[in-house]
Amino acid sequence: GPAVVLPLACPLVGSKHLQPETSQIYEDFASAGSSIRSVIGILAGACDLHAENVKALAENNVSNLLAHVLPFALDGLRRDLKDFSQSSIGDEEEAIIDALEYLLSVCKEDKQASKQLCSSLILDFMPWTGSGVRMIKRILCICSSMCNTNPDLMQEVSALQILLDNGRKWLSPKSSIMGGILHSNSAKSVMDDSGVLSVTEAESVSLIDELFVSVSLLTNTSGRMSSKVEIIVGFLAECPCPHMLAATVKLVYSIIISPNTERANEFLFAFVDHGGVEVCMGLVRALALRGKFDDELHGVQNLFASCVQLFGYLLETGCVSANKTTEIGGSKKVTKGSIERAVRHAFRKGSSKLITMDVYKQIMHSSLSINLANINMTEPARLISGGMLGSMLWTLSDAGDDVTNEALKDTMLLA
């Protein structure tokens, strides 16, 4: 079928195993780099309104072959353009993504071809090894679009599980892992498993936000909530990156407070039943024991604020009470007292560096049943968690000026 053009995008094909290889000869890698966009365009053009070629594409799993060739072709393109500006290289890379979108569009009526393209080239970041932030953002945008337009297909290819796994592997900033909540030996093993993209740590954090657009869409689609929650809780238990953990806990919180009460309760019951609350407690304990608070790029403060927000909701709604364990199922390990002890220990370890403005606001929101932004003078403030509030007040004198000024304003309002 149309895949006969794929060798044009290979810098070199090994004579022994017939696998793509990197070539040091300029003509080889320059030719492969300049051909890859045309090769994908030819594949798409051959499949446009030609069902037999689309069928051949699927039968021969050409998507997987293309994913195998792409890293070598992209490496050739970057080496060929090494003397050009990063903007010029980014333009060439985006043109390749345009060709890929064309290929996806002409194959959309063939379910098997679409699933292969999605699995090999959209959900897996391996073909895009060494790519910059512009290229990866485009891939994530295509992914979120497919989650919107074809959620059933995305569920069939286990997109939620694959996206979270690849996000952990490819998008975790190094400083976030090394400054996060793992033991040093665990952190080393995670770094050995990581993929390599040409992005800064700040860009990695922005890409995590893009990734979770798709994760949110996949989690909120119709389907068995229990299986989705199982994936999410498993990710919370295994992920080494505080930034991703924080985004996941925020997603959990957004679902359980959503206006769709039936679906929100279904998710909450499943989350508690699968031990999600215990896992979040474990994250706070690990954060207190091993988290590094010296740089917000580590993401520890963001994770702490997200967990506090979730705990506040569970305490206010009675899912966790003062003397009893979790009220709606799950194991028998989480009480109001255990949550407050974990929060207090985190504050003592992190001291002033843990009290960011976000952490302060989440503690206040989770500890008091009153909206300080729109306070009603006749409405009494009910204390939800004196333990969390007291733990924060214990370290408030060491906080930055922005937090202490905000605390002074809130004190005047409450008075």
DSSP string, 65-108: HHHHHHHHHHHHHHHHTTTS-HHHHHHHHHHHHHHHHHHHHHTT
What pLDDT is stored for residue 300 in this prediction?
87
Do residues 285 and 352 share a domain? yes
| Domain boundaries, position 387 | 172-415
Do residues 304 and 266 share a domain? yes
List, for the chain, all residue ranges whose pLDDT scores fall below the cut of 70: 11-29, 176-193, 295, 297, 321-333, 351, 370-381, 415
Among 94, 126, 157, give the residue marking a domain's end. 157
What pLDDT is stored for residue 398 in this prediction?
82
What pLDDT is stored for residue 415 in this prediction?
65
Please check whether residue 67 lies inside any domain of the structure.
yes
Do residues 149 and 291 share a domain? no
The amino acid occupying position 64 is N
Do residues 263 and 404 share a domain? yes
What pLDDT is stored for residue 15 in this prediction?
47
Do residues 130 and 62 share a domain? yes
Please check whether residue 167 lies inside any domain of the structure.
no
Do residues 179 and 315 share a domain? yes
What pLDDT is stored for residue 234 in this prediction?
92
Please check whether residue 162 lies inside any domain of the structure.
no
Rg over alpha carbons for the chain, rounded to the nearest Å, is 25
Please check whether residue 164 lies inside any domain of the structure.
no
Instruction: Please state, in angstroms and rounded to a whole number, the distance separating the CA atoms of residues 54 and 44.
Output: 9
What pLDDT is stored for residue 17 in this prediction?
52
CA 219 to each of CA 117, 149, 256, 306: distance values in angstroms, whole numbers, following the listed order: 22, 15, 12, 18
Do residues 190 and 119 share a domain? no
Do residues 376 and 238 share a domain? yes
Domains: count for the chain: 2
Nearest to 315 by CA among 293, 339, 291: 339
Among 157, 185, 209, give the residue marking a domain's end. 157
Task: List pLDDT tens digits, range 48-76.
Answer: 989 999 999 999 889 998 998 898 888 88
Do residues 207 and 324 share a domain? yes
Do residues 26 and 132 share a domain? yes
What pLDDT is stored for residue 412 in this prediction?
79
Query: Are 332 and 375 contacting, i.e. CB atoms less than 8 angstroms apart?
Result: no
Please check whether residue 163 lies inside any domain of the structure.
no
Query: Are 357 and 365 contacting, i.e. CB atoms less than 8 angstroms apart?
Result: no
Do residues 84 and 129 share a domain? yes
Do residues 279 and 398 share a domain? yes
Among 128, 157, 186, give the residue marking a domain's end. 157
Please check whether residue 145 lies inside any domain of the structure.
yes
Please check whether residue 165 lies inside any domain of the structure.
no
